[in-house]
A and B are shown apart, each in its own frame.
Chain A
């Protein structure tokens, strides 16, 4: 059986395991069941795409996986931690150390330069400003930024460049899990491909986990697996189209 590859050569470990996860917004007649028992297993070094129609629960699911939202039911272990067993403060610290975020709208801080934006997770962890900015600069350099671009404010950067800063910010503190919400929706085809190549290289090289929510079929080929969601459930887990020869591999978990 083919399994997602990683650079270490060791058999991949299970990084995320969710069983029967449910989440409901509101109460009574206004209640909306966003997750209706999600079962999902993601291994280290894997890039998983979450795909499905709007309102099917993708963002809710990654919010639960990232510890930004409490689940109502089921079990979920993320990097051997269960958020329900942790205090809000512990969850926040865990996110700061282990999780990186790439938001659909970039959400870069307008008053900070590209390097300062990318250094934010390090600054939050208490690193000195110069060390943090130097470290962020090294990551940005890997992403093709020169010194002038690093000193630019987000407003002076193109959409693709802003998204690279957002990716650098998500990667700079070497998190073990990166969640991305529509990372290529604001990018053209070429920029989108570059971003996905970077993310994929990061996941595979570093033996980490990437969960990417997307509607963008152009990037399906970068995934190790594609989880299709409908009505708050994962209905199918498939191999990406470009990986047809591996189609026979059995998904590790199926809802």
Chain B
């Protein structure tokens, strides 16, 4: 569980809450807000008190229920009370979150030399967040970033430092190479298998341009089917993930980039399989060879 402390006075940074509750619930003593943070089942608690658990059975399979408003938690020997649940965007990797005020956090967390990670600031209406960040930097000599810049910094940091991004790129590259190889070989085999029919069509007057067009139309149909199947399966997988509260988000550029990759692979495969078509001699098929 990650503890996120917000400013006692403004409560800036508490995400949208369930059941129409507001962040002001944190103003009561020892109040905390819990959030699944994209995880599943980690904020569950036994339905019955410990002295009512079935005897002679492992405690791991006692009936569970989600934590609810009014439940109490014991954190580092400090008792806190759940004042509500929030719905923050799922984290990666998923991890339950606990929002509370900075003063409460100071009581429940173990002593640390540096406890303050960042301060969330809301710009007053009409104030440009970037200009405000620049003013804060000038006044405090600390780094201040607007929300948009902070997101960009985070993505850049992830791309530069996270192994996950490198792993994903490596997997995609391998998938592309395998896909290119398999598709290329299949297209080549398919074209080779039908070479005599292309030769027959050429003998009957089909021009090289018409035959090349046929091969590319075949490749285009394969690409369309492949892209459609891929996107369909991806959508189904995404739907399943969201049904089970796994974080899944299909960005607009993913199908576009995927489609472009499929087109690239298909054109490459068709071009590779074109060579025997352009080199064929219709006469060699006249005798049924």
Chain B residues touching A, range: 10 to 19
Chain A residues touching B, range: 20 to 34
Majority SS of interface residues in chain B? Answer: helix
User: In the complex, what residues of A have CB within 8 A of residue B197's CB?
Assistant: 107, 109
Among the listed A88, A103, A109, A124, which residue makes an inter-chain contact with B286, where contact means beta carbons less than 8 Å apart?
A: A103
Q: Is B287 an interface residue (CB 8 A)?
A: yes
Known A63-B286, A105-B288, A181-B288; judge A120-B207 contact (CB<8 A).
no
Smallest CB–CB gap between B77 and chain A, Å? 77
Tell me which residues from 109 to 161 in chain B have a Cβ below 8 Å from any Cβ of chain A: none
Among the listed B205, B208, B288, which residue makes an inter-chain contact with A121, where contact means beta carbons less than 8 Å apart?
A: B205
Among the listed A68, A97, A107, A124, which residue makes an inter-chain contact with B283, where contact means beta carbons less than 8 Å apart?
A: A68
Cβ–Cβ contact A103 & B204, under 8 A: no
Among the listed A95, A97, A125, A182, which residue makes an inter-chain contact with B203, where contact means beta carbons less than 8 Å apart?
A: A95
Q: Is A96 an interface residue (CB 8 A)?
A: yes
Cβ–Cβ contact A68 & B287, under 8 A: no
Q: What number of residue pairs across chains A and B have CB atoms under 8 A from each other? A: 69
Cβ–Cβ contact B204 & A124, under 8 A: yes
Cβ–Cβ contact A93 & B207, under 8 A: yes
What are some 15 contacts across the A-B interface (CB < 8 A)?
Answer: A59-B283, A59-B286, A60-B283, A69-B281, A89-B207, A96-B205, A96-B206, A97-B205, A104-B286, A104-B288, A109-B197, A125-B205, A181-B286, A181-B288, A182-B287
Q: Which A-B residue pairs are the 4 nearest by beta carbons?
A: A96-B205, A105-B288, A104-B288, A63-B283
Q: B residues touching A (Cβ–Cβ < 8 Å)?
A: 196-197, 200-208, 210, 281-283, 285-288
Q: A residues touching B (Cβ–Cβ < 8 Å)?
A: 59-60, 62-63, 66, 68-69, 88-89, 92-93, 95-97, 100-101, 103-105, 107, 109, 120-121, 124-125, 169, 181-182
